[in-house]
Amino acid sequence: MGATGLPPGMDSNLTELAKGGCEIDWQPYTQTRFYTNAFIISDDKLLLGFKKRGFGANLYNGFGGKVEPGETPAQAAARELKEESGIDAPLEHAGVLIFLTEGTEWAFHIDVFSARSYTGEPTETDEMRPGWFSLSENSINGNDDRLGVSSSPGLPSIPYSKMWADDIYWLPHLVEGKKFMGRADFAKEGDKFIMRKFWFGAVC
């Protein structure tokens, strides 16, 4: 923790939303690799992709990947969204996430984007299977999908138990159209990543 009480790497204009693992130290890192993640909201529905292979396989997530040399994060986000879901959208910057994984000296820096409209038809690709989830009953405090609450007939609620463990802390904030920033450090147990320490804040 720095003097401001925020994890290293965070801006100072943040208000705490959630934190955990306070007894553990933040993992040091020397390098940063840039990624994107994009979420589409349409009426009271959220589009997620089930990752079929690679990093984060078998989890639902937004659409995204590495920022390639010469690209801005916004350009990479639009390209990855198209490649992985087949759609275009007027993406806006929604937040920044820093992730560390045990045994890796570099940090993921993920620029997160959202859009409230899109063109095209979400289409399954080699990497992702898109699907819509209900946002009804979803509050800023998060929604426990074990309750299975959904008032959009036929649509499941956000599948937090099949997403990265950090998502429940910031995704409701994104859905509300608010900006956020945060960090989570993960340990590896077998082929599973366990979130050990985290801090998420709202941008004021």
Contacts with ligand N6E, 57-96, as mask; x by CB under 6 A: ----x--xxx------------------------------
Gap between the Cα atoms of 77 and 115, Å rounded: 11
Q: Quote the CA–CA distance of 97 and 188 in Å, as a whole number.
A: 19
CB of 35 to ligand N6E, least distance (A): 4
DSSP 8-state class, residue 163:
B
Q: Determine which residue in the list 35, 39, 60, 132 makes contact with ligand N6E, applying CB under 6 A.
A: 35
The answer to whether 48 touches 159, Cβ cutoff 8 Å, is yes
Shorter beta-carbon distance to ligand N6E: residue 24 or 151: 24
Residue among 11 and 102 whose Cβ is closer to ligand N6E: 102
Q: Does 185 bind ligand N6E (CB under 6 A)?
A: no
Integer Cα distance of 197 and 166 in angstroms: 10
Minimum CB separation of residue 67 from ligand N6E in Å reads 9
- Please list, residue by residue across 70-94, b when 16 or more beta carbons sit within 10 angstroms of its beta carbon and e when fewer do: ebebbebbbbbbbebbbbebebeeb
> Does 39 sit near ligand N6E (CB under 6 A)?
no
Size of the site for ligand N6E (CB under 6 A): 16
DSSP state of 53: S
**Residues in touch with ligand N6E (CB under 6 A):** 35-37, 54-56, 61, 64-66, 99, 108, 110, 164, 166, 186
